[in-house]
A and B are shown apart, each in its own frame.
Chain A
Amino acid sequence: MSKIGHITATALTAVLLVCATVTPPHAQSRNPAGIGQDQYLQGQFSMDRHLAGFDKPLTSEGEFTLSPATGLIWHTITPFPGMTVLDDHGITRIDDQNNRENLAGGDQFRPFIELISAVLAGNWDPLRERFDIVQQTAKGNDPWQIVLTPKGGSPIAGQISKITATGTQFVDVVQIAKPSGDRDAITLSGQELHDMPLPADLADIFAGPAN
């Protein structure tokens, strides 16, 4: 009934997207792997949101920051600036005037944050409960691919029909297909892995306004 139900479903797609995105830069490896709790990843994204029945997608571009220990900042720069923060406090939207709106209780959303960490650590077990996972190991310079399909009867199946992530060192593209026929195509670039702590401005975003 609560909004968190469907938001988390949609958020999971984002989680998985980012999970697949943050593949460590092992030069010789062609498999996704996790990052440590003491690291964070930054990069740029371009998202095309295709809505069934409409030719033109909704396109947005921006930057993201992911810390397995803290959460995800999804900073849309164009066409409309805004920020979505996923962390222990839940889902928070910050508009261009720095107004914060908490969309959902963090306690409910936390499993998805934890899913990010689990995937980044190379632990697929939490996802295997809800998804059938097919992993294609890359050969040579070919990209690797992971296909996640919700298991029958899983609540998430009402929100997502398939997630496909491809990449080489990092995830390059994530395709999220929905039962309605809508799909999101996210292209990632410029990912860089850094050691914690987060820069002060990013840490402040996670910390929220001082009371």
Chain B
Amino acid sequence: MTMRASIWAICLLVMAVFGGAQLVGGHTGIDADFLSLIGQEQTGDGTTPDDIHTVRDLLAQDGRQAIFMLFSPDRTKLETAGTHLANALSTLAGTSSITLPGQGADRLNELMDFYGPYAHGLLSDTDRETLQNGEGHRLYRRAVQNLYSPVTTLGSQTLQHDPFALLPAFLSGLGDKLGNGAGIIQRDGQFYLPLMVRLSPDLRQTGQDSIWVTGANDAINATLATAPGLKIAKTGQVFFAVAEATRAKSDVQRIAILATIGIVLMIGLVFYSPVPLIGALLVVGSGLIAGMAAVTLIFPAIHAIALVFGASLIGISVDYALHYLVMPPHSGTAQERIAKIRPGLSLGLLTSVIGFGALSVSPTQLLAQIAVYSVAGLIAAYISVLCLLPLIPCRKVQTSSPIHRFHHILQTGLAKTRTGFIARLCLAAAIFAGLMACLVVIPGNNDIRQLGHGNPALIQEAAQISDVMGIGGQPLFLQIRGQDGEARLQTAEAVRNALTPLLANGSLGGMIGLADVIPSIARQSENRKQVNDGLYRPFADQLSELLPVTVAAPDEKAPFLIFDDRAALNLPEITGLRLDGSDIIRLRAATGIDAITTAIAAIPDTHVIDPGATISAQFAQYRHWALIALGISLGVAGILAIVRYGLIRGICVFAAPAGAILIAVIGGHLIGISQNFFTTMALFLVFAIGADYVLFLAESRNSDHNNDTHLAVLLSLISSVLTFGLLASSSVPLVSDIGSVIAIGLVGAWFLAYWMTAPTIKNNKETPRDT
């Protein structure tokens, strides 16, 4: 016994050291970014994976941007404050670059050099329209004025390839399309100044985002203090993510403290001794250590959601500990007590392992991580009960304890609810039918936007920035597929034409695609022809008379501007606009997706990507796999129960956790909880814990420790409800929903476990013992 315990303790120690070294040493990362959660699947589905990969990449890029909008009726103070804030933000670790209005003059030469040789094929939308309307003379007059203007774009270099000064107009239009906060806006007596911050790519992955946000808020407050009347709004994924995480963390910490106090009190009130608490901690702790060691061994990075769900196996492993701890000293030696609970414990473990193991058959890394963590953790907890708890001094449950008395009252009350097998089988049938009905009647709602709390202040600020600046807001993209890049660019140009009315009426704030930066060859060729016909032929001679150089029509067959490495180097803004086999158009401040969808309906190979909808679809797929795994678990558990207890009693035993799931689903639905991936995962816990309850009771029902097992199950219920029930009080819908579903389900599991395993009543008489 001691030898086994020592070996197991050493194993736990090794696992703890290994897991700690993996995490502390950085060999295994903890990823808190939900974007990295998606798109990791190896599905062969035709369109969804592309979308999710696209969305992940694009949102990751957007996530690196933070937008500040300063506004004040005093322009001078506003600009001073903008510089002050920019300086303060630039000192923060994680700030990559800052853009203020008026900056970027240093890029001019680079852009002029890059675009210069192709200038006669690059037209702004306005110039293109002017030429199409046969008004080339207007562009000629502009070119002449440019020669003598004090603010000219003319130079000896530009004169060679762009005597009609078309390129500056193209660049100006491009700046507007990029929508990087073109400048200060005056509206309703206020001046608005945009300040764009580019964040380091690893800021969120390394978990430093909260530090950056704290620093940014300090910088805002310091800036506000310098200019009375100044206001600052901010938006960006980083602010929402940190606000959500902070709130969730605060809730969970508060709940964890309350739950821990509650469980300590509960065990103290039952045993009047801290020793059983140590035993419970040993079992729970060994489960957590083993789970962590397993995932760090297998996966290079663990997602925070997997950790949270994995850690919730505390709720299961504490059942194992309590099952042993409530055994009275007089029931035998430590080994004899272990022998009494081992069958129930083993069946409980087997059921849970099957349940969580079923998750690993899904192609999603998240579910696989949860499966590995849970299976390894529960096996370790099981071994700890068998090897370590017998070494813990046995403490007797105090009959004078209020919980013991409460248990007695409950037992008396529950005894009155006993029924015969027929009623139980009818209920079991109703449960199975109910589960099937729920799948059809209660629809899933996987909209991820409903999972967060949604900071009202941040939402308001984002709306304000979107309204004033036309930037920020909900991201929306168009994806263009096509055989080759040229075809996609031409399609993108058709898309811009189709969406121009929406841009004009304000229902679309702006858009930028690769074709805006590098027009299609067809467009460039068309532009060249228009420029030659509309400008060079009628006006080249006139312009030549004013210049020290002869202006000649450019060669329409000269090399065209194309997307290549040089373009990507000169134009980092186009990063991510071309993916494998598709081009992306970013839409800004879109007020409605329907109008956009309608406008582009006739354009082939183009479809709208709504990140929120796409990610929600991904989580719907996760839920789909979780439901399949839950179904497999229920099926296997049913077979095990029938094999172990016979057909009728097996069905009754199996019906208890199934009924708990049904109660959790219906109860959750009645209080307005949507069925999503996370609540489905909560059902897994309900199933696993509920199976423990009923198996413990079924295994002990004919033994002399039946009453002890009932008490152990009650204590387990109290501890679980304390833990998960308090989660229901969280202000974060995701956390609250999980807690509510588990709490409701476990109460149902506890009652059904008792009811389905209690001695049956025949002809109003209690059967002495069912065998």
Kindly identify, within residues 405 to 451 of chain B, every residue whose CB is under 8 Å from any CB belonging to chain A. none
Is B155 a contact partner of A182 (Cβ separation < 8 A)?
yes
Interface 1/0 per residue, A70-82 and B, CB below 8 Å: 0000101001101
Besides the contacts A60-B147, A86-B151, what 4 more A-B pairs have beta carbons closer than 8 Å? A5-B107, A52-B156, A80-B145, A159-B108
Complex A-B: 17 CB contacts under 8 Å: A1-B104, A1-B175, A1-B573, A3-B171, A9-B108, A13-B150, A49-B148, A56-B548, A74-B150, A84-B149, A84-B150, A84-B151, A96-B141, A107-B184, A107-B186, A155-B104, A156-B105
Kindly state the interface size class of chain B when it binds its partner.
Answer: 35 or more
B141, B184, B546: the one contacting A95 at CB < 8 Å is B141
Is A80 a contact partner of B155 (Cβ separation < 8 A)?
no
Is A181 a contact partner of B105 (Cβ separation < 8 A)?
no
B549 in the interface (beta carbon within 8 A): yes
Q: B residues within 8 Å of A by Cβ?
A: 75-76, 79, 101-109, 111-112, 138, 141-142, 144-145, 147-157, 159, 168-169, 171-172, 174-176, 178, 180, 182-186, 191, 546-549, 573
Is A2 a contact partner of B547 (Cβ separation < 8 A)?
no
Chain A residues with CB under 8 Å of B185's CB are 107
Bound state CA distance, A99 and B75, in angstroms? 30
Is B548 a contact partner of A4 (Cβ separation < 8 A)?
no
Is B145 a contact partner of A84 (Cβ separation < 8 A)?
yes
A115 to chain B, nearest CB (A): 12
A30 in the interface (beta carbon within 8 A): no
Bound state CA distance, A8 and B172, in angstroms? 13
- Given A52-B156, A58-B547, A108-B101; A158-B148 close (CB under 8 Å): no
Is A5 a contact partner of B104 (Cβ separation < 8 A)?
yes
- Given A5-B107, A51-B159, A155-B106; A108-B148 close (CB under 8 Å): no
Interface 1/0 per residue, A48-63 and B, CB below 8 Å: 0101111110101000
Instruction: Count A interface residues, CB 8 Å.
Output: 55
A14 in the interface (beta carbon within 8 A): yes
Please give me the residue from chain A that is nearest to B175 by CB atom. A2
Q: A residues within 8 Å of B by Cβ?
A: 1-11, 13-14, 17, 47, 49, 51-56, 58, 60, 74, 76, 79-80, 82, 84, 86, 91, 93, 95-97, 99, 101, 103-105, 107-108, 110-111, 114, 155-159, 178, 180-182
Is A8 a contact partner of B144 (Cβ separation < 8 A)?
no
Bound state CA distance, A61 and B106, in angstroms? 30
Bound state CA distance, A7 and B152, in angstroms? 7
Is B169 a contact partner of A3 (Cβ separation < 8 A)?
yes
- Given A5-B107, A9-B105; A49-B154 close (CB under 8 Å): yes
Majority secondary structure of chain B interface residues (helix, strand, loop or mixed) = helix
Interface centre among B76, B105, B111, B152 (most CB of A within 10 A): B105
Bound state CA distance, A81 and B687, in angstroms? 86
Bound state CA distance, A156 and B103, in angstroms? 10
B112, B142, B148, B174: the one contacting A58 at CB < 8 Å is B148
Chain B residues with CB under 8 Å of A159's CB are 105, 108-109
Please give me the residue from chain A that is nearest to B171 by CB atom. A3
Is A6 a contact partner of B150 (Cβ separation < 8 A)?
no
Bound state CA distance, A60 and B148, in angstroms? 6
Chain B residues with CB under 8 Å of A17's CB are 150
Bound state CA distance, A42 and B547, in angstroms? 29
Please give me the residue from chain A that is nearest to B573 by CB atom. A1
- 5 smallest CB-CB distances across A and B, nearest first, come from A2-B175, A3-B172, A14-B150, A6-B108, A107-B184
Chain B residues with CB under 8 Å of A103's CB are 151, 172
Is B109 a contact partner of A105 (Cβ separation < 8 A)?
no
Chain B residues with CB under 8 Å of A182's CB are 155-156
Bound state CA distance, A103 and B165, in angstroms? 12
Bound state CA distance, A162 and B631, in angstroms? 78
Chain B residues with CB under 8 Å of A11's CB are 150-151
